[in-house]
Structure 1
Amino acid sequence: MTVSAARVDSDILARLRDSVLERGIPATEAQVLELLRLPDERLEPLLELAHQVRMRWCGPEVEVEGIVSLKTGGCPEDCHFCSQSGLFASPVRSAWLDIPMLVEAAKQTAKTGATEFCIVAAVRGPDERLMGQVAAGIQAIKDEVDINIACSLGMLTADQVAALAAMGVHRYNHNLETARSYFPEVVSTHTWEERWDTLRMVAEAGMEVCCGGILGMGESVAQRAEFAGQLAALQPHEVPMNFLNPRPGTPFGDLELMSGPDALRAIAAFRLALPRTVLRFAGGRELTLGDLGARQGLLGGINAVIVGNYLTTLGRPAEADIDLLGELCMPVKALNQTL
């Protein structure tokens, strides 16, 4: 690396130390792009700064969540990364989870120390049947399990938003998935703006907004920075960070995995763009980062994890993540702190 390059690298980290760490001012899209272009030899100080920002503005606690699919497969949308689309020749088939199984999943999630349980359905948006199932499931869980309930049911109407809020759903997940400029390359059956409208209504109804996406879907580095800026403008409570796990039979099934250093750079850069946000390890981290990367991510800006398996892919055992948090002296956030 040339002397001039080293000076530029040092300058961006020094500037962000002052603005983000000391004053809590989020990194801009242009600054995020600079971070994403840092060479590998500057990754360690970048991760260190991101960890300091996380500790300063979020604290040491780590929020733990489990997720379960109430309705799997058969989705009419063509999200190119998703094996649950009914339009692709993937091995995932349509299935429903009954209420007793949903309650049992919530109980097992609570046993890990998790404070969040998210009910997910592979749909464009919920119909009357699904809303009825969700209502029954939420009531059954509340009767037996002390845990916060989140939902991810696709795009919503204003009436559905109001109904979910009345059911006691405190957080709603609906990912923008990628930068607005790249979205048409990922999904053609609905628009980025339709997703944004659902998120706006959720926030206006008083529910917490959970919104992130998937990195490594062929987007440019500039589009990753664009995405970070758009998430910062949304101001979600939580941002799940997924890394593409190419699924057989999907249009993105042959894409290469994102490199570990690029994934860690993205984690740190997104932390600096979202200094006060819950930044959650989600799908694909096991393949992209491995065990060492999981440790580096938790020391590089991450302050929440999904434990156990994901919707159609395997994750790390919950015990492995809980043990790692213990090794790193990062307490699991208690339920009474999230209410």
Structure 2
Amino acid sequence: MTSAPERATDVLTTAREQVLERGEGLSEAQVLEALRVPDERLPDLLALAHEVRMRWCGPEVEVEGIISLKTGGCPEDCHFCSQSGRFPTPVRSAWLDIPGLVKAARQTKETGATEFCIVAAVRGPDKRLLSQVREGIKAIREDGNDIQIACSLGMLTQEQVDELVEMGVHRYNHNLETARSHFPEVVTTHTWEERWETLLMIREAGMEVCCGGIIGMGETVEQRAEFAAQLAELGPDECTMNFLIPQPGTPYEHYEVVEGKDALRTVAAFRLAMPRALLRFSGGRELTFGDFGTKQGMLGGINAIIVGNYLTNLGRPAEVDLEMLTELKMPVKALSDSL
């Protein structure tokens, strides 16, 4: 029977040849082995994930800002979300006006970000919301801002997908959130398959696909490996790496924060499953990693970050993250290179 260090050596050796040299992501079983790498081999796992990132993605980091156009009052029961109208959270329903949206886009562009994501807490967009998105994009362009526009507006119909393409939306975010086998424990008001169908329509329409999820919602390590494999099957252009923030009033308010080492293993394993994707540090990194762990993650496979605040949680000031990237000698992806 092989020991844990021996198994770690096996998966790292395999990943070096399979992922680093050939660009082929790890399988579900192989991801599981990576997620079980013992603490003493974690630096080796992170170093390999960084090599993979540099080989298949390069040194640049894509910086993005996000803004909530419609906050709170969502009819869905996503157990992690403070914007659900079904839970007694402090978040109340609110809409952002168009001048506010334009200002946020301008401030995001000034940080050096190339991507600005308009988010709404909804099951899916109605005519009012799509009209505001259209008006907002038009106003951002009239402001002379050429930043790329992404949206995250929930599940879509084909007609809505086509409308967003016509508006010039560059990328659409719709997270699967967790492994298919665990999803019914997290959300009961819609299915994993409904989300998957939206993602397929987005890709077919020519928009870039942004899809990831949240780690730390009671899933097993086996389900984390399952999730990585399902994301790899989808092949998103961008994968968001969120870590649970236990939100007051939600069913997960008393869940423990993911341990830093487990979070780093997950980052590295997801990189080895998806060698060519943008892997973006998103919500929860400040709470899960702190400054030191964030730098380890940037050197363990991450090549994109959200700067500034999140939807209902404060993030780090953009200048702090940009200083970190300078310290790590990681250039920010230029807008001209993104278009």
Q: Same fold (TM over 0.5)?
A: yes
Identical residues among aligned pairs (%): 72
- Residue in 2 aligned with 1:234? 234
Q: Are residue 211 (structure 1) and residue 211 (structure 2) matched? A: yes
Q: RMSD over aligned Cα, in angstroms?
A: 0.9
Query: 1: CA distance between counterparts of 2:203 and 2:4?
Result: 42
Runs of 5+ consecutive residues of structure 1 not aligned to the other structure: none
Which amino acid in structure 2 is aligned with residue 115 of structure 1?
T
Which residue type is aligned with residue 260 of structure 2? G
Aligned counterparts of 1:24 and 1:146: Cα–Cα separation in 2: 33
The 2-side partners of 1:200 and 1:10 are apart by: 37
Per the alignment, residue 70 of structure 1 pairs with: 69
2:282 corresponding residue in structure 1: 282
Tell me the residue number matched to 1:123.
Answer: 122
| Distance across 2 between alignment mates of 1:127 and 1:3 | 56
1:149 aligns with 149
Give SS of 2:240's match: strand
What is the letter of the counterpart of residue 282 of structure 1? Answer: S
- Counterpart AA for 1:137: G
Q: Aligned pair 1:133/2:132, yes or no?
A: yes
Which residue of structure 2 lines up, in the alignment, with residue 168 of structure 1? 168
Distance in 1 between the 2:40 and 2:57 partners? 27
Determine the structure 1 residue equivalent to 2:313: 313
Given the two structures, how large is their TM-score scaled by the length of structure 1?
A: 0.99
Per-residue deviation at 1:146?
1.7
Q: What residue identity is the alignment partner of 1:220?
A: T
SS at match of 1:254: coil
Q: Per-residue deviation at 1:188?
A: 0.2
**TM-score computed with the length of structure 2 as normaliser:** 0.99
Distance in 2 between residues matched to 1:307 and 1:197, nearest whole Å? 29
Partner letter of residue 280 of structure 2?
A: R
Q: Deviations over 1:1-57 (max 9, x none)?
A: x98332221111011101100110111110000011111111000000000000000
- Map of 2:111 onto structure 1: 112
C-alpha separation between the residues in 2 aligned to 1:40 and 1:112? 36
Deviations 1:149-200 (A, max 9, x none): 0000000000000000000001000000000000000000000000000000
The match for 1:193 is 193
Whole-Å separation in 1 of the counterparts to 2:187 and 2:6: 40
Deviation readout 1:58-78 (Å, 9 max, x if unpaired): 000000000000000000000
Cα pair 2:241 2:279 within 8 Å, conserved: yes
Q: Provide the C-alpha distance between the structure 2 equivalents of 1:317 and 1:159, rounded to a whole number of angstroms.
A: 38
Secondary structure, aligned partner of 1:87: coil
Find the counterpart in structure 2 of residue 9 from structure 1.
8
For residues 278 and 165 of structure 2, what CA distance do their matches in structure 1 show?
21
DSSP 3-state at the match of 2:3: helix
Instruction: Output the amino acid matched with 1:324.
Output: M
Partners of 2:140 and 2:131 in 1: how far apart?
14
Map of 1:34 onto structure 2: 33
- In structure 2, the gaps of 5 or more residues are none
Amino acid in structure 1 at the alignment position of 2:104:
A
